[in-house]
Structure 1
């Protein structure tokens, strides 16, 4: 009789178990992955998870958007390790998982809800955070998320409505990490500083070609990274997590940036991530970074489940040896702090393609190429019912290119508040001088500036400039900011302050005024000045005549012809046009400037 009673009891309990399970269905799951929830519904679901988590999940605001919405982070951990101090005391690596920096690419949010539910409520992934702490941003660009519509991502297969790529000030937050224009970025940098994560995972949906893979991924090239971070990424992400993900029934590839989008057989190359991007910023903060790009043409359900599976695969890899990641971070900080002590210390700030390609097997589709009568270009059309494998070449590897010298310290006069404000945004430590001090310094003289013709992220980028280091004796006024390089922020600071760095404040246009002379000469005065200079220096006339002969635009411009002489005169050089105000100090100068 007992077995029959047990069966009856199980049968009676089944509807209630099913109902309990159904109550934890996420909004995206409930819609059959046709839709993704609003921000309010997302937070409502997360609050339910928090309430049911027995203290393993919490929510905390970390900022406010320009339109006044709260930016929320979710912390998940076992054993009460819910704060940065407790996490570090427990020796647990901290993983910052962020979704919705591009709100139309929102798989990370819906996968994150499922992951948190299965960790803290259903117990399906109860082991997920045995040895790690998760800090989860369900929606980074909240204003962009709420500005949803059906026509934002022409390349993408669902959900029905998608958020807008820019935030409410039309800034792309995944180009803002260094310049930190957006309030969201300032808030994110505070969150980063508080938690100092060991790994950043940034979830996106790709654009571009069609192929079999449901997911592509990107990690920064080893030459961009501290050695310990490069080794950890190679071993755990590429060596363990990606193979584990594929064993779950998925297909993954390194990020596919085709050399020619009209012909995939011409090979792939590195897309050129830099510090303005998430993984590039993690790299200059001496941390591991993983970019996830689900494939835009796969059904939304496939993309969400793929995100769920790759994240749990990464955590499985961390859980096998959590101290390996925390040690990699510690070693990376020590590596950065020691860079300035090496002879002729420098930091690579640009990278170029390794000219030697490697073979790569592309799991793609058949395609046709047609001469377009609309664009006049080649129109590629894929045939996704016909799988095809291609043997192509890969130029993913990079080599260091331009290096920025690494001084003992940088000196920033107090009037350059815009620079100092960015140091504060990135929480870079510095001291200030209390009285004027005269020291030897290296100052870069900048000439031949060339700006982009069109704005990019609210700025006209300085595309090119000639840089000539000059030795100077300068008097630093009281209040001059001194930023040392013998600390973990050395690489970050070099990328922010050095004129050679493509994402430096100079290149973003914050110091454009140094290229503007404030005093000019009238043409009648410069005519006389030119003749006087030629009389005193006959070789100058030959130089002028050669430029007239070689440069028609110059020859046809009376202003340019007169400026040739004015810019070589003391009336111009006294204005110090192009003198880069951020100075480099050696150890002796640093000791004097304390």
Structure 2
């Protein structure tokens, strides 16, 4: 046995032995968490976890309170625990006392439930003034142990084929088969609507989302991910980099091995390198970035024993909160500056905002601690099959394509306008807590608009949607008469990037891409073939260029030439009868500063405030 492997094995046994004991031998047995009581062979169901939290809150009401933020589709309560040394249990008081708010969630994928069990242990050790009694000295902790409570209730030993324990695991989707970690921006799930109310109520300064990884085998018991600097305000990025430079050495000094998130380019050959997994607004940390907040994705390693994974989360979260406690003013300064910067850029008409990102073509190098592996040919898949040898470790220098560069960017409008009939869009604006003005009367305005064409949809559903994968677009002025109840969403607000992610057609998780606006590509009026025959004859006589274009298409496109209906439709699509239907006219308008000022000067506008409460 090689010394390096022996050290790793002893480290794992030490962590497991520590995790399998109550962290407070002096505490009565009834404060041992359900997972500890089973020596981390099992994890509790939602009702058992909630019962434990309620007992804890009753025992320490000055330090811990519970709040129900909503109910799942199956009727289960969604509960957050609010931890505060000085009894600060509301965001207004936290802000008045200059205390940063840290939101931590577990169980968004409830088969990956370490965050819940580590959370119960941390909250106990804080509330009962154990080894974490200083956890919230200079901050307020909002802990959501189980986001997908219905998914956790749907537990089975057959849900996580890649994972080493616990004995049963929750299901990745909630009870409507939606993946909550693909739902942040589109907000289909009732649980996500409740989460967004929680977010807008507390406006946290730091966000942590706890998962378990799949994929390769390696010595690390935890990997982590933060958003690329190009996605963040510079103040937030600088704070985040400082945090990680302090956090990781301290964490690894506790005996853990940690690595940046390992998304391998080729799972059968890790030596080919890693790359950015492409987080965007549908994901937790991608959404936090739109809200000008640092976000930390935590991924324990699925093949480590469950107790090791829970201990890895416990220690990381405790160390992170300790870092924030030592310098709370630095985090508050970063998020305050980021919000102010977002508002300030709304006055810069030439300021491009990135919507999409691409991998930097020039990689850096990553020192990867790996298990040795071999490849064998598979007669089943026809591909190579990787085998890891945990008795042998080695360190490789592999290419790292984690850095991103802006790809598609657009200038920011002064405001967006959404006509009243488009309730599916207005509904999302409200769900995300964006500030808007409702027009009290019919209004005519001229604004920039998008004209879309050549749509192509995915062939298979994703999260219940047939997504629009590509289209052509152009921008042009349009004069429209807006009915009463249309809304204006100004960009001089802190969450302006959320509006752009929803409303700019090319944004990767725009409502257009998710298929909510498919109807705009459908013509509702049509022509009979006998009428279109005459229309085509007349158009060819009047327009020689059209005749040349039609003849070219016949010669170059055999499928078109063989389709009589397509040949007639060619002329209808280029006629005033088709243009009058507005096919492909994107309903969301972009206002410049002058037109916005005119709208805002109208007498007695009705304004609906952002919702600040939650159930």
* Shorter-chain TM-score above 0.5: yes
Quote how far apart the aligned CAs of 1:550 are.
2.6
Number of the residue aligned with 2:291: 285
2:474 corresponds to 1:459: no
CA deviations over 1:215-252 (Å, ceiling 9, x no partner): 0001000100111111111001x211111111100011
Distance 2:27 2:291 in 1: 44
CA RMSD of aligned residues (A): 1.2
Alignment of structure 1 residues 128-147 onto 2, 5 Å: 128-147=135-154
CA deviations over 1:507-539 (Å, ceiling 9, x no partner): 111111100000111222222222211111112
Quote how far apart the aligned CAs of 1:385 are.
2.1
Quote how far apart the aligned CAs of 1:552 are.
3.0
Choose from 383, 397, 400 the match for 1:394.
400
Distance 1:222 1:408 in 2: 25
Choose from 472, 481, 493 the match for 1:475.
481
Quote how far apart the aligned CAs of 1:186 are.
0.6
SS of residue in 1 equivalent to 2:375: strand
Distance 1:556 1:211 in 2: 57
**Superposition TM-score, scaled by structure 2 size:** 0.92
Distance 1:122 1:36 in 2: 24
Quote how far apart the aligned CAs of 1:44 are.
1.3
2:478 corresponds to 1:487: no
CA deviations over 1:330-389 (Å, ceiling 9, x no partner): 111011111121132332110000011001111111111122110111211212222121
Number of the residue aligned with 2:32: 25
SS of residue in 2 equivalent to 1:470: strand
2:100 corresponds to 1:108: no
Q: Is the 8 A contact 1:404 1:501 kept in 2?
A: no
Quote how far apart the aligned CAs of 1:48 are.
1.9
Q: Which runs of 5+ in 1 are unaligned?
A: 1-16
Q: Is the 8 A contact 2:356 2:508 kept in 1?
A: yes
2:87 corresponds to 1:80: yes
Choose from 537, 549, 555 the match for 2:555.
549
Q: Is the 8 A contact 2:106 2:113 kept in 1?
A: yes
Number of the residue aligned with 2:609: none
Between the two proteins, the alignment pairs up a number of residues equal to: 577
Quote how far apart the aligned CAs of 1:21 are.
4.2
Number of the residue aligned with 1:195: 202
Q: Is the 8 A contact 1:365 1:388 kept in 2?
A: yes
Number of the residue aligned with 1:207: 214
Choose from 568, 583, 589 the match for 1:583.
589
SS of residue in 1 equivalent to 2:31: coil
- Does 437-446 or 146-155 show the bigger shift? 437-446
Q: Is the 8 A contact 1:26 1:45 kept in 2?
A: yes
Number of the residue aligned with 1:317: 323
Distance 2:25 2:147 in 1: 33
Choose from 557, 562, 565 the match for 2:571.
565
Quote how far apart the aligned CAs of 1:262 are.
1.3
Distance 1:585 1:475 in 2: 14
Distance 1:540 1:18 in 2: 86
Alignment of structure 1 residues 128-277 onto 2, 5 Å: 128-236=135-243, 238-277=244-283
Number of the residue aligned with 2:411: 405
Distance 1:555 1:229 in 2: 57
Quote how far apart the aligned CAs of 1:38 are.
1.1
Choose from 60, 63, 73 the match for 2:70.
63
Quote how far apart the aligned CAs of 1:404 are.
2.9
Number of the residue aligned with 1:419: 425
Quote how far apart the aligned CAs of 1:261 are.
1.2
Distance 1:343 1:587 in 2: 9
Distance 1:229 1:379 in 2: 42
Distance 1:164 1:48 in 2: 27
Number of the residue aligned with 1:127: 134
Does the C-alpha gap of structure 1 residues 55 and 424 become closer, same or farther in structure 2, counting only changes over 3 Å?
Answer: same
